[in-house]
Amino acid sequence: MKKIELVNISKKFDNDLILDKINLNVEAGELVALLGPSGCGKTTTLKLIAGLLGPDQGDILFGEKSVLNTKVEKRSSVLVFQDYLLFPHMTVRDNIAFGLKMRGVSKAKREAKAESLLEMVDLPGYSHYYPHEISGGQKQRVSLARALAIDPEVLLLDEPLSNLDYNLREDMQNLILELHNKNDMTTIFVTHDHEEAMLLSDKIAIMNKGKVEQYGSGEEIYKKPVNKFVADFFGTANYIKGRIEKGSFYFNSTKIPLKNQFNELNKNEINTAMIRPENIEINSKVKNGINLKAEIIERKFIGGKLNYRFKLKNGHELVASTFIEDHNILNEECNLSVKFENIWFMAL
């Protein structure tokens, strides 16, 4: 297990700055997700950690040691690509044992290891199959087994679940968690699905345009996003514009006390309150919160949840979602309330 540290990493392709002074600390044994939209630099970051690319600036440490001059095969890390990259002319067993063969491990030992890894990824009996004879989900398991064959201290997974359908994804998510916990590894995986990132990882680095916008637990990022990009990437959000007056936030004449519901922002910069849809309560008054009159203008049943759209007196629209409770009357006036603790402030 190794701690991984990226220090001020920058990378250019031609003249395009793809990574811009990235800093990231992954503790030994942690499972971390790199999350962000297509093209933000997630795969490039993994390739730099694996040693398939070198940075133009900055340092990469495994433990306390820089690995910039350490070759790919000596880094004790392994990168699993989303399109498996199995050797088509080799059996499943030979694919898994390939890295061990390169390291001079005897035939008997590497075959025994391949068999035990096939058990671990739940594919016993598949050793004699060729890649074209197995499904996409099975190929993904084989490529994981191949990666684990060399007992890596650092496992790097590039969108391991993106080619799999919904049910298989769940199985693979469980398998990745199980393998990570069993094998004493530090694992970093790339995804563009925020729910998957929250489900699997201890921490999430949310990336945008070559920068890490925020790094923390899923809950922290969801509840306390540092900016609108992060808030929107993590789900639906309502934004209410207001103003700071005498140390409080005012939305029209509604006063919201500013406690610690913002990060290191200068109070005077705050101009927006963010509210997640599930934190809006319908037709119940709260004491330590705001209460607003609104009209229901849309109701959508989405299975297990109802999504509503409301219009406030000043024309501002809000979305809310509730489980089960039904407020079915369109155009009817109702009361919306939000507890102060569920309001997060931002500067937009």
Ligand X SMILES: Nc1ncnc2c1ncn2[C@@H]1O[C@H](COP(=O)(O)OP(=O)(O)OP(=O)(O)O)[C@@H](O)[C@H]1O
Site residues (vs ligand X, CB under 6 A):
13, 18, 36, 38-44, 192
We find the least distance from the C-beta atom of residue 141 to ligand X, in angstroms, to be: 21
Nearer to ligand X, 45 or 337 (CB): 45
**Residue 24 CA: distances (Å) to CA of 46, 50, 316, 320:** 12, 15, 39, 35
Q: Sign (positive/negative) of CA torsion 70, 73, 77, 80?
A: positive
Nearer to ligand X, 221 or 320 (CB): 221
We find the least distance from the C-beta atom of residue 143 to ligand X, in angstroms, to be: 17
We find the least distance from the C-beta atom of residue 172 to ligand X, in angstroms, to be: 18
Nearer to ligand X, 208 or 279 (CB): 208
Nearer to ligand X, 44 or 238 (CB): 44
Share in percent of the chain as helix, strand, coil (round to 5): 30, 35, 40
We find the least distance from the C-beta atom of residue 43 to ligand X, in angstroms, to be: 3
How far is the C-alpha of 297 from the C-alpha of 304, rounded, in Å? 20
For 140, phi and psi rounded to 5 degrees? -65, -40
We find the least distance from the C-beta atom of residue 71 to ligand X, in angstroms, to be: 19
Structural contact between residues 78 and 153, judged by C-beta atoms closer than 8 angstroms: no
Nearer to ligand X, 42 or 139 (CB): 42
We find the least distance from the C-beta atom of residue 210 to ligand X, in angstroms, to be: 8
**Residue 340 CA: distances (Å) to CA of 13, 112, 144, 255, 272:** 46, 60, 46, 10, 14
Nearer to ligand X, 11 or 93 (CB): 11
String of b and e for 181-211 (b: at least 16 CB within 10 Å)? eeeebbbbbbbbebebbbbbbebbbbbbebb
